[in-house]
């Protein structure tokens, strides 16, 4: 499963006030999906940039649930890659590792901001 998260790769899940109480259901739902054997990959909606799962608590919470970083892949690219890996590998840990590995140019090396200005 691919989640197209916000910013650095986040979903709601924390409840800072009563209005956000419904967010309490998101993390347990994600955990249930992962525990069922599903590989869950986080991508970002941002045009440029990548998922950073270890910057804020929301990202680290997702990692602790078992969510895999999609690096800088578009959601569509991550979906095709995950489908191919699931069709060719049985070991879920190997699939998770390969999702973060650049196999065919689908993951870019880190781009520094000044590179956009050249």
In a domain, 74, yes or no: yes
pTM of the model: 0.86
What DSSP element (H or E) covers 112? none
Which residues have a Cβ under 8 Å from the Cβ of 11 and sit 6 or more positions away? Answer: 3, 5, 26, 30, 58, 62
Report yes or no: 81 and 106 within 8 Å, Cβ to Cβ: yes
In a domain, 53, yes or no: yes
In a domain, 107, yes or no: no
- Whether 101 has a pLDDT exceeding 90, the answer reads yes
In a domain, 108, yes or no: no
Phi-psi region of 7 (alpha: psi -120 to 50; beta: other; left: phi over 0): left
Domain extent at residue 92: 2-101
Tell me how many domains the chain contains: 1
Which among 72, 74, 98, 75 is positioned nearest to 85, based on CA atoms? 98
CA distance linking residue 75 with residue 89, whole number of Å: 21
Q: What is the CATH number of the domain that holds 18?
A: 3.40.50.40
- Whether 37 has a pLDDT exceeding 80, the answer reads yes
The string of pLDDT tens digits covering residues 61-100 is: 999 999 999 999 999 999 999 999 999 999 999 999 999 9
Q: Which pLDDT score is estimated for 116? A: 59
In a domain, 78, yes or no: yes
Alpha-carbon 28 to chain mean position: 17
User: What is the arithmetic mean of pLDDT over 3-29?
Assistant: 90
In a domain, 63, yes or no: yes
- Whether 14 has a pLDDT exceeding 90, the answer reads no
């Amino acid at each position: 499963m691919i989640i197209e998260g916000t910013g650095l790769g986040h979903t709601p899940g924390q409840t800072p006030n009563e209005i956000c109480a419904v967010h309490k259901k998101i993390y347990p739902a994600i955990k249930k999906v992962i525990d069922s054997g599903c590989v869950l990959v986080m991508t970002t909606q941002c045009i440029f940039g990548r998922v950073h799962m270890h910057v804020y608590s929301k990202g680290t919470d997702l990692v602790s649930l078992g969510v895999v970083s999609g690096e800088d892949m578009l959601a569509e690219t991550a979906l095709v890659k995950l489908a191919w890996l699931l069709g060719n590998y049985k070991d879920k840990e190997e699939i998770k590792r390969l999702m973060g590995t650049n196999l065919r140019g689908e993951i870019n090396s880190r781009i520094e901001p000044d590179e956009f200005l050249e």
